[in-house]
A and B are shown apart, each in its own frame.
Chain A
Amino acid sequence: MSISVMPVPGALQPPLAPAPAFTPEVLEFPASASAAMAPVLELSGIGKRFQGIVALRDVGFSVRPGEVMALLGENGAGKSTLVKILTGIHRPDEGVIRLAGQAVSFATPQAAMQAGITAVHQETVMFEELTVAENICIGRQPLCGLPPRIDWRRMEEEARQLFARLEVDLPVQARVKDLSVAQRHFVEIARALSQRAQVVIMDEPTAALSQREIRELYRIIAQLRAAGTAVIFISHKFDEIFAVADRYTVLRDGRFIAAGALADISEPQLVALMVGREVGQVFPHHGQTPETAGAPVLEVENFSHPTEFHEVSFSLRRGEVIGFYGLVGAGRSELMQALFGLSPAAHGKVLIDGKPIHVNSPAEAIAHGIAYVPEDRQHQGALLSLPIFQNITLPILSGIGFFLRRHRRRELDIARRLSEQLELKATHFHQQVAQLSGGNQQKVVLAKWLATNPRVIILDEPTKGIDIGSKAAVHRFISELVQQGLAVILVSSELPEVLGMADRVVVMHQGTVQKVFSRAEATPELLVAAASGNLPSATGSDPINSDKETMSCH
């Protein structure tokens, strides 16, 4: 069988983005003509506290029309809170917002929108059962007639025009629940742009986008900028920041730290501003070579699922990091979840230490030494209103003893050891996980899985939405795990992470493995091409799909 994707000439060269591949190359944005203009949005002395916790204090900055301002800061620095204040979701406790020189205060999100401030929020703001057009216009659908009724035709037409303007092709009558994650993001972006806004805020808009889609986004930002709109761009990825933004503002612990032109500052300087200390190496490779790595721990052969992935084979050795790269929706998470026993429909051969195993539930997977740190921390990872120690010991409860009261000491010891290892920042172990900042919640989830003492640990997007300091910590931690002899599967949509951390890279596209690259082979261009299904030599290098006769079905 041959893979049906034929290399289409020119497909690698999208018409609008001339370079085919990843590089943090700067697109040719029109030179900022805004330097001299008066600021469209000005904040001063903004403060906000939540039940005694100070999220922001005395923050001020300004943005000019046609300017892209990057808002930077660690997790929990207060960026999203600021966004919510600007969009009328939260009300500031103190401070002034000036829009085009006028002091404003927004009673409702609607008021902010009408005043010309719109945002793509960090959390998905989507109504699955409604159509694309309605998702864009919800709450302010065009009306007609008497009594006023929603003008569906006009609404859809406007949505269509909007997409045409953005040069994104989306069916406006489709229900959002049928869209992919990336498509949903574009719906959100379209919603923010559907009103001729003076200020558009994007809070980590690229977290779930692939490189190609990120370039789409860049293009849209360039359009906005050319039209004189002010853009506030929030991201933890420095390549993006340097690619799109003109100026930066840094927050730390809810305070304003610094602002300036990006042209005048280097990445390490920015990082230092954000974190307030040295971060060290972001991608510390564990230093083992393929030769020093041990025997295979996990072998997967012809692993298939009726709809999600097809004939996946790979093997993993002790002390090795294998990266899984692909576009969002490539089926990596489904594959990993199936390995973890979460998807009974999957079938194929899985061997641990050379012995075939059948994993039908997460409990069995844990028993075989497999751990899976899911990508969606909020929904799949943490149990937000349970105490920290209860989160950590959840998967190993039966190992502790049926009557937990009698073993409280032991439970807390395990929690303490792992938290110290991970440098968890918390006040006490009975604290609810919900009270921790995002990065620390992620650490609790990691601790939970380390508690099972796994031999293979699957990390699904472990640094998604994590700031640079914590990211470096997670990477350091991965290296340590490997040095202790664990085998790591690192699923990531971030090229630098995959390239920096992995010994080998498996690239998936539409549920199939396109190619397995060694660390030496892997280049950004090749990975992106493979992930898009455009690998020039795809037909040649197909060792995975050629051994059909060994397929085992059950």
Chain B
Amino acid sequence: MPLKPLLPQKMAPAGLLTRRREPLLAALIAVLILLVGWRAPSFLTTRSMDNLLTDSAVLIMLALTQMLVIVTRGVDLSVASNLALSGMMSALLAMHFPQLPVAVVIAAALCIGLALGLINGWLIGYLSLPPIVVTLGSMSVYRGLVFVLSGGAWVSSRNMPADFIAFPLARLGGLTHLVWLAALAVAVLWYAARHTRFGRDLYAIGNDPVAAGYVGIAAPQRLFWTYGLSGAMAGLCGYLWVARYAVAYTEIAYGFELTVIAACVIGGISIAGGVGNISGAVLGALFLAVINNALPMVQISPFWQSALTGLVILSAVIINARGEKKRHKQILPLHFQADTAHVARSAP
């Protein structure tokens, strides 16, 4: 005898609720942009929007790979330090070998980031050490190495070849390379997360690491490469950051890892693992980028910025939590509820 299908009528509200989060966030971003535009009309110009996109590119890219890491129940606190280290190394490379084509420098930055990420991945995947501890440690080590390598000195625009600096903001079809790279990263990672075994395995690991082992998912190897990916993205962003602001020094992107994680959290990616998607990460990053870009424009006192960001993060997680709130599994047929409600009302 076939089992009775329990689901269809039960699924609908729950499904809607989870599926409603991203459009909600997107709408929120739109409203925010309009509000800012109302206070400062110049915010709504195409140039300003173009700048907003360019500005959010790095955050989006980092949020994407951080999301994959968080989906596996991990966290990568070392991204900002990795970014600084790979950025500094690529700048030093370009400074000492100015004739190197930019593509080579970018590839070098990517590889350095990858290597740094794989160190994390090895410790976390193959030695099964807790991600938060490992990346906390490597975060200090990488940041310190920036200082050691550069001797504490700046690499400034004078030392960088022109094409090294020009690449991130150069335009292709009206959009900056930064935006294209971010779009490419979104497309590739969306594909990876949604349509490859690699990506699906990450969700499985995040949902239940032990069970993932039982169905033959090679979790160590998957984690190794996930942190590698996060590192490689940090490496790429390291070059982009350094080239875009035309300066490299020890403290670049100090504390940026928390912004990246905040973007993921706002995007509805559960820190408990197994839940989250690319659009959430992108929207979360965009949301923060809009706030960061809007605050200087609406003449809010600079002293309020950090407090407002904190408030925004807290409200976002609370709103997310409401949606997530453990739904009761509703085993009673619906008419019972109606009944109880009715009785409750008629009771004196």
Contact = CB atoms under 8 A, between A and B. Distances in A.
Whether A and B touch directly in their complex, counting CB atoms under 8 A apart, is answered as: yes
A112 B216 CA distance: 9
B3 A108 contact: no
B283 to A, nearest CB: 19
Interface stretch (A9-17, A266-274, A368-376, A398-406): A9-17
Interface stretch (A171-179, A479-487, A515-523): A171-179
Interface stretch (A38-46, A304-312, A389-397): A304-312
B42 to A, nearest CB: 43
Interface string B201-224: 101101110111111111000000
A120 to B, nearest CB: 10
A89 interface: yes
Contact of A125 (B197, B200, B214, B335): B214
Interface string A85-117: 001110000000000000000001111110000
Secondary structure dominating the interface of B: helix
A169 B5 contact: yes
| Size class of the contact patch on chain A | 35 or more
A245 B11 CA distance: 38
A17 B5 contact: no
Contacts of B3: 168-170, 182-183, 186, 213, 216
B214 A329 contact: no
Contacts of A240: none
Given A14-B1, A139-B217, A149-B191, A174 B328 contact: no
Contacts of B340: 304, 306, 310
A58 interface: no
Contacts of B1: 14-17, 167, 212, 216
B200 A4 contact: no
Given A130-B203, A150-B196, A178-B10, A170 B5 contact: yes
Contact of A121 (B214, B331, B343): B214
A511 B214 contact: no
B332 A139 contact: no
Contacts of B206: 129
Interface string B261-284: 000000000000011000000000
A511 B333 CA distance: 9
Given A150-B195, A182-B3, A212-B1, A127 B331 contact: no
A37 interface: no
B204 A124 contact: no
A334 to B, nearest CB: 8
Interface string A293-337: 000000000001011111000000000000000000111000000
Contacts of A178: 7, 10-11, 14
A37 B264 CA distance: 58
Contacts of B2: 167-169
B332 A310 contact: yes
Contact of A149 (B10, B195, B347): B195
Contacts of A182: 3
A406 to B, nearest CB: 36
Contacts of B4: 169
Contacts of A170: 3, 5
Secondary structure dominating the interface of A: loop
B268 to A, nearest CB: 12
B213 A130 contact: no
Nearest to B332: A511
A263 interface: no
B13 to A, nearest CB: 11
Contacts of B6: 179-180, 183
Interface string B6-37: 11101100100000000000000000000000
Given A128-B207, A128-B274, A178-B10, A89 B347 contact: no
Contacts of B299: none
Nearest to A144: B195
Contact of B328 (A89, A108, A186, A307): A307
A553 interface: yes
A409 interface: no
B48 interface: no
Contacts of A168: 2-3
Nearest to A11: B1
B336 interface: yes
Interface centre among B204, B211, B215, B329 (most CB of A within 10 A): B215
A213 B191 CA distance: 39
Contacts of A148: 196
Contacts of A503: none
A109 B213 contact: yes
Given A1-B339, A310-B336, A123 B216 contact: no
A261 interface: no
Contact of B200 (A141, A180, A548): A141
A15 B213 CA distance: 39
A134 interface: yes
B337 interface: yes
Interface in A194-228: 212-213, 216
A138 B6 CA distance: 24
B306 interface: no
Contacts of B328: 306-308
Given A139-B217, A141-B200, A125 B7 contact: no
Contacts of A367: none
B19 to A, nearest CB: 11
Contacts of A4: 333, 335
A139 B344 contact: no
16 contacts: A1-B339, A112-B216, A126-B207, A130-B204, A138-B217, A140-B216, A149-B191, A150-B200, A170-B5, A171-B8, A174-B11, A178-B14, A213-B3, A216-B3, A510-B333, A553-B347
3 nearest A-B pairs in the assembled complex, by CB-CB distance: A109-B216, A110-B216, A14-B1
